[in-house]
Amino acid sequence: MVALIVLIGMFPIESCSQNNKKAMKVQHTNRLTQENSPYLLQHAHNPVDWYPWGEEALQKAKDENKVILVSIGYAACHWCHVMERESFENEEIAKIMNEFFICIKVDREERPDIDKIYMDAVQLMTGSGGWPLNCFAMPDGRPFFGGTYFRPNDWVGVLRGIQNAWLSEKNKVENVAAQISEGVRSNELIEVKSDPKLFDVDDLKSGYENWQKEFDKLEGGNNHAPKFPLPGSLQFLLRYYHASKDQSALDHVVLTLDKMAAGGIYDQIGGGFSRYSVDKIWKVPHFEKMLYDNAQLVSLYAEAYSLTRIPDYKRVIEETLAFVDRELSLPNGGFYSSLDADSEGVEGKFYVWEKSEIESVLKEDAEWFCEYFGVGEKANWEEGNILMISANKKELATKLGISTEQFDEKIKKTSDKLLLKREERVRPGLDDKTLTSWNALMIKGFVDAYKALGKKEYLERAEKAIHFIETNLMKGEGHLHRKYKDGVSKINAFLDDYSFTIEAYISLYQASFKEDYLTKADRLMKVVMAHFSDEKSGMFFYTSGEDPDLIARKMELLDNVIPSSNSSIAKSLFILGTYLEKETYLERSKQMLANVYERILKVPSYHFNWGQLFFCLANSTYELVIIGDLAVSEKQNIESLFLPNVLIAGSLTESDLPFLKNRYVPNQTSFYLCKDRSCKIPVTSVEELLDQLEEEISE
């Protein structure tokens, strides 16, 4: 990357005295007014001549031989708002951008395919990334320089430096673009393992021990700031504990969940989690609330509750789902994307409290409430008091002369009063677009909560949401759109839209025994196999073969804040292959896992969703059939337990599903415990079934 270093050195950071002037308050209109993305609409009246990503902008760059600026963010992004206020609303800076560049705005949540390419490029160039993402590219779209947030003076220096390099050092720019583009294309190439080995839980020990070194033994999570919840990684640790009986894995999960639930990252008044904590003690959140985080955290707390029965986990599940229903739900069943970090231009203003305000609302209850949530005369953060549990519940209840149950009731009543008071404030902005993949994650969250808590309304809410997807985001026979807003669905779905929707259908089948859900999951899987498959490696591309070409066709392999779409598809291939007895699905799933097996062993912390499939194959998953009149009600007694290596199927009547065929006995509910297509003698009670399972596990 020598050429890259030389090129970056060409960009002097010039001063720009006019940046200190306030941007002129002139009403501008650009092409983004024709879009319906909340993020793009936020920039629709910038003086910058923004284009949305599309043929018009790309062709104009070629026709005029101009550098493309691809600027990427999302509606809830605090630093995106800051850069807009400082630079994109500034008349003089906009003038430079308009004169020298074709400026394209991209909503990363609408077009993750574009974001992945330019994020990869910036990470290759700088070693880090984030949003806002600002990447400069050749007229054909190949990136050659980029970064994240720039201060106004620095931004002007970059703009002028890029233009100077384009005019005087075009060959060097071309060479850098060629290097970076090749790096982007090869970044996730996968080596095919032609001879898959057997998967063994003991192989994970070394990787887990290395991961342990990153654990924060006092506050949970990783031992550095900022702290992201990464729910999938904690679900992996629950399974590692289940398979290995290593108590340290469970201890770390419990510590982390306890600390998060008590911290400022959790909205103690309204429920729901912010995206991450800026410190090591989960105190100060980055206040944006994302649907995908809360969906996965509900699933995580549901699994942890099934295993530990810790009462606070039940509370967190219920409060978070109440928040989602109250603040992120469309009337017709879908879910909105996020809530902004800012209100009235100030991050976190909506969520923090002055002690005097709490006293005026709660009166005689204010003193103990403030003690419990760490509220003092001097605020614990620059904008006010962030509520976080700071006292021992049992000790404070004793001090008040009440039981812990009565204390919980008082917390609920006082929190409801403050929630009502908070509603009088100016609310954070709502990103009201609906994304298929995130909605599917939330559907699974509701189903997992139903399994853990047995509340039928959660299953009903999940079914309402899948109906929303079928009605508004499905086109033709099994094809999906990415996005819905204001009655319009558009953008061909990406692999995560398909993979998470397939997972949602599977979880709905497991919770309801409605076989139509499996049929629909398989229909989507056939579309994935037809249009996303890389036959050479056995993996899947992120974009459909029906979509227009970008400079690279990416694969998503690493599990991160959201699990990778390839790991999700691999899991579903295994589950559908088992239910439907499709050997091709099972073999494809095994091949995919074999391809990343060495990566899992080295870095399980970023292959945690692959790890869930690993445990299924390493431990030989049990198949449980419940069939008969009471199948659904009896199922609840089993699915509320933490049994990650048991696949449940069932029916109230005779079924042609391969898993269930010829197993129905009239006027009887039967349980069949099977492994590797060999079943034990059927039993007729949950108690007998659990005895069989215990015998199997102890052998």
Q: Are 629 and 236 in contact (CB under 8 A)?
A: no
Number of H helices, E strands in the chain: 26, 20
Is residue 259 domain-shared with residue 395, that is, in the same domain? no
Domain end: 590, 618, 646, which one? 618
Banded pLDDT at 194 (limits 50, 70, 90): low
211-217: average pLDDT: 96
Is residue 359 domain-shared with residue 412, that is, in the same domain? yes
Which pLDDT score, from 0 to 100, does residue 694 have?
A: 84
Residue 193, in any domain of the structure:
no
In order of 38, 228, 449, 496, 550, the CA distances from 441 in angstroms are: 21, 18, 12, 10, 27
Share of the chain above pLDDT 70, in %: 95
Is residue 581 domain-shared with residue 510, that is, in the same domain? yes
- Helix H or strand E segment including 616: helix 608-618
Instruction: Dump strand ranges (E) for 486-586.
Output: 488-492
Is residue 152 domain-shared with residue 169, that is, in the same domain? yes
Which pLDDT score, from 0 to 100, does residue 4 have?
A: 42
pLDDT exceeds cutoff 80 at 22: no
Is residue 484 domain-shared with residue 565, that is, in the same domain? yes
Which pLDDT score, from 0 to 100, does residue 229 have?
A: 93
Which pLDDT score, from 0 to 100, does residue 478 have?
A: 82
Q: How many domains does the chain have?
A: 4
DSSP 624-670: EEEESTTHHHHHHHHHTS--TTEEEEEESS---STTTTT---TT--E
- Helix H or strand E segment including 71: strand 67-73
Condensed to tens digits (0 to 9), the pLDDT of residues 407-437 reads 999 999 999 999 999 999 999 999 999 999 9
Residue 194, in any domain of the structure:
no
The domain in which residue 653 lies consists of: 622-698
Condensed to tens digits (0 to 9), the pLDDT of residues 529-583 reads 999 999 899 999 999 999 988 988 999 999 999 999 999 999 999 999 999 999 9
pLDDT exceeds cutoff 60 at 69: yes
Domain end: 618, 648, 671, which one? 618
Residue 196, in any domain of the structure:
no
Residue 51, in any domain of the structure:
yes
In order of 147, 242, 620, the CA distances from 379 in angstroms are: 35, 43, 54
Q: Could you give the 3-state DSSP secondary structure of residue 549?
A: coil
Which pLDDT score, from 0 to 100, does residue 6 have?
A: 39
CATH number at 45 reads 3.40.30.10
Condensed to tens digits (0 to 9), the pLDDT of residues 143-162 reads 999 999 999 999 999 999 99
Predicted TM-score (pTM) of this structure: 0.93
CATH number at 252 reads 1.50.10.10
Is residue 410 domain-shared with residue 507, that is, in the same domain? no
In order of 332, 496, 601, the CA distances from 466 in angstroms are: 11, 16, 36
pLDDT exceeds cutoff 50 at 220: yes
Condensed to tens digits (0 to 9), the pLDDT of residues 600-627 reads 999 999 999 999 999 998 877 899 999 9
Is residue 392 domain-shared with residue 307, that is, in the same domain? no
Q: Are 508 and 447 in contact (CB under 8 A)?
A: yes
Is residue 270 domain-shared with residue 360, that is, in the same domain? no
pLDDT exceeds cutoff 50 at 2: no
Condensed to tens digits (0 to 9), the pLDDT of residues 450-500 reads 999 999 999 999 999 999 999 999 988 789 999 999 999 989 999 999 999
pLDDT exceeds cutoff 80 at 123: yes
Is residue 279 domain-shared with residue 392, that is, in the same domain? no
Is residue 141 domain-shared with residue 256, that is, in the same domain? no
Domain end: 409, 424, 439, which one? 424
Which pLDDT score, from 0 to 100, does residue 26 have?
A: 55
CATH number at 643 reads 3.40.30
Which pLDDT score, from 0 to 100, does residue 8 have?
A: 43
Which pLDDT score, from 0 to 100, does residue 658 have?
A: 85
Q: Could you give the 3-state DSSP secondary structure of residue 355?
A: helix
Share of the chain above pLDDT 90, in %: 83
Residue 135, in any domain of the structure:
yes
Condensed to tens digits (0 to 9), the pLDDT of residues 667-696 reads 899 999 988 878 899 999 999 999 988 887
Cβ-in-10-Å burial (0-12, 13-18, 19+) of 203 comes to middle
Q: What is the dihedral of CA 132, 136, 137, 143, to 10 degrees?
A: -70
Is residue 545 domain-shared with residue 435, that is, in the same domain? yes
pLDDT exceeds cutoff 50 at 16: no
Which pLDDT score, from 0 to 100, does residue 684 have?
A: 92
Condensed to tens digits (0 to 9), the pLDDT of residues 311-369 reads 999 999 999 999 999 999 999 999 999 999 999 989 999 999 999 999 999 999 999 99
Is residue 164 domain-shared with residue 225, that is, in the same domain? no
Which pLDDT score, from 0 to 100, does residue 14 have?
A: 34
Helices (H), 288-332: 291-308, 311-327
- CA atoms of 532 and 541, how far apart (whole Å): 5
Condensed to tens digits (0 to 9), the pLDDT of residues 633-657 reads 999 999 999 999 999 999 999 998 9
- CA atoms of 588 and 529, how far apart (whole Å): 10
Residue 474, in any domain of the structure:
yes
Q: How high does pLDDT run on average in the chain? A: 92
Condensed to tens digits (0 to 9), the pLDDT of residues 154-184 reads 999 999 999 999 999 999 999 999 999 999 8
Which pLDDT score, from 0 to 100, does residue 152 have?
A: 95
Residue 419, in any domain of the structure:
yes
- CA atoms of 571 and 554, how far apart (whole Å): 20
Q: Count of residues for the chain?
A: 699
Residue 192, in any domain of the structure:
no
Look up residue 446 and give its two tokens. Answer: 């509701």
* Cα angle: 317, vertex 263, 428; to 5 degrees: 75
Q: Could you give the 3-state DSSP secondary structure of residue 123?
A: helix
